[in-house]
Structure formats: structure tokens, C-alpha cells
Amino acid sequence: MKKTIFKGAATAIITPLNEKGIDYERFGTLIDWQINEGIDAIVVCGTTGEASTLTDEEHREAIQFAVERVAGRVPVIAGTGSNDTAYAVDLTKFACEVGADAVLAVTPYYNKATQKGLIESFRAVADASTKPVILYNVPSRTGCNILPATAAILAEHPNIVAIKEASGNISQIAEVAALTRGMLDIYSGNDDQIVPIMALGGIGVISVLSNPMPRATAELCRKFLDGDLAGATKMQLDLLPYINALFCEVNPIPVKAAMAAMGFCENSLRLPLTVMEAEHEEKMLAMMRELKLI
């Protein structure tokens, strides 16, 4: 059996930005709060962390900062994927050198590799890594889907230990689970599918929701893992309206507005992302008041 990186909820953490770049003071405060609220792992420089518009220097600094700030309290998973495999390999080596506990490797975007290309690209990253690799399947963003048979082939690599499934296709995820059981841990990549994916054998979520609600997201997963399916299901359904609000515009636009309202960052994004539309933000903030988040 391969080593499991974490069970439960990992936060795909935002990157607080200001006019000077990354706001490390607020970033550190946010990391500490997440851990104090009971989150099980931190994912830095993922989609929600706006990795695609960070400079190479910022990307590396953010990974190193997160590792140092967390200081071993929970696992740190570094987003190191790219549409350029050579760059992904280089970034993966860096993340391993500075002490990340694992790396998250997204499917190459824009290039739209074949399944053979995906296998060779992910193997190159995994060969270069001294830490466990989590595959990240999000075809709505990348235009490229890791098919179940491909996931099964990649699961044979000793360094590839898990997959973050954000395809939204429950039938496909069931097939991945059937083909890889015992070889690949499965994490939900969609907050509205935490319970369904865990019901298929998943062991947690890499979450956007847990940015503003780390304690509740971790509790939902814990209930399921402890056998309280009814309790976990109730939480999933109760949280669904707020989850939908967090995805009413392209992630991380809404969650950045949410975290700004909570005082953890400025509502600052980099183009091509723009701030949340006022009517959407008003509805989301009203929900947050009901949830006593602000």
C-alpha cells in the first residue's frame, strides 16, 4: 500500500495579493487560522491560489513560505503542474527541495495532450519527485481528461499516490475507483460532491469551501470517515447553497471576495480575473451573514 498524504479536508488556499505582490503577513495569518480551525492539509499555488498568474519567483516563494509557516503542523501540498512538462519537473524538484510534503500536478492545459502524452508527462514529473504526487483532473479548465484506464496505468508508478477528481463525472470517478482500488487515493475536487465521491471510496476533499469554512468542511469529512453518513450528507446538503454561491462565477473570484469580507485579504485578483459582480457578491455576503462568517 502506498502512503496516504492526508484524510479529510485540505484547503486549496487563496493567495492574498496587494499592489506590491503577495501579502505574506495576511498569508501567514490565514495559514495559522486554517490550522487552528482543524484543517487536515494545505494546498498552496493551486487553481484557487491563482498560480497561473503568479510569476515564477512568486510561485516558488509562496511554496517555500507555506512550508516554513506550516512548520510540519499539517501536510503542505504544492501545486507544480504546467502545460510545459519541463517547467513542471523543475518546479516539482524545487517544491521537494524546500520541504513540501507532496505535489499536485494538473493535466497539461491548452496543449490538450493525448492519453499517451498524459502518461509520459505525469511519469516525468513523478520520476523527478522525491515526494508523493497527486494527479489533478479538471477537464473543464484544461480541456484534457484523465481517463480511468490512464489513471490505472499511472497508479502503477510508486510516486503517484492519489488523484484530485474535479471532472464532475461521477460515473467516471466510480470507474477510476474500481480500476485503482488500493493503488490510488481519491480526493473530491468539487465541494458539491464530497459525500458522493467519498461514498465511492474517496478519502476527502481538496476544497475551496474550506477557505472560509475550514472547521465545517473538515467536520463533514470526519463525519463520513467515522461512519456518520447521515450527518455528513446533511452537512453536504445544508452547505450546498453557499457552495453554489462560491462557484457562481469563475473560481477564485467569489472565494476571494468572501475571504476579503472576512479580513484575510484584499479583494484583489490579477487579469484576466476581475472582481465579483456586485449582485452576486451581495447574495453571497447575505449567506455568509446567515452562516455567521461575517
Point out the catalytic residue in the list 164, 187, 223, 242: 164
Residue 65: Cβ within 10 Å count? 18
Has residue 265 been placed in a domain?
A: no
Per the structure, how many domains does the chain have?
1
Looking at residue 1, its pLDDT comes to 64
pTM above 0.95, yes or no: yes
Q: Is residue 3 in some structural domain?
A: no
In a domain, 253, yes or no: no
The residue range of the domain holding 173 is 8-226
Instruction: Let me know if residue 252 belongs to a domain.
Output: no
Residue 94 lies in a domain: yes
The CA distance from 201 to 198, in Å, is 5
Q: What is the pLDDT of residue 112?
A: 87
Label residue 169 exposed, middle or buried (CB < 10 Å: 0-12, 13-18, 19+).
middle
Say if 285 falls within a structural domain. no
Residue 164 a catalytic site member = yes
- pLDDT, position 2: 82
Instruction: Tell me if 177 is assigned to some domain.
Output: yes
2, 24, 93, 136: which is the annotated catalytic residue?
136
SS (H, E, C) the chain: CCCCCCCEEEEECCCCEECCEECHHHHHHHHHHHHHCCCCEEEECCCCCCHHHCCHHHHHHHHHHHHHHHCCCCCEEEECCCCCHHHHHHHHHHHHHCCCCEEEEECCCCCCCCHHHHHHHHHHHHHHCCCCEEEEECHHHHCCCCCHHHHHHHCCCCCEEEEEECCCCHHHHHHHHHHHCCCCEEEECCHHHHHHHHHCCCCEEEECCCCCCHHHHHHHHHHHHCCCHHHHHHHHHHHHHHHHHHCCCCCCHHHHHHHHHCCCCCCCCCCCCCCCCHHHHHHHHHHHHHCCCC
Say whether 234 is catalytic. Answer: no
DSSP bridge pairs for 10: 41, 206
Q: For the domain that residue 149 is a member of, what is the CATH number?
A: 3.20.20.70
- Residue 286 domain-assigned (yes or no): no
The mean pLDDT values, 10 residues at a time, for the chain of 294 residues are 92 96 98 98 97 97 98 98 96 98 96 95 98 97 96 98 97 97 95 98 98 98 98 98 98 98 97 97 97 96
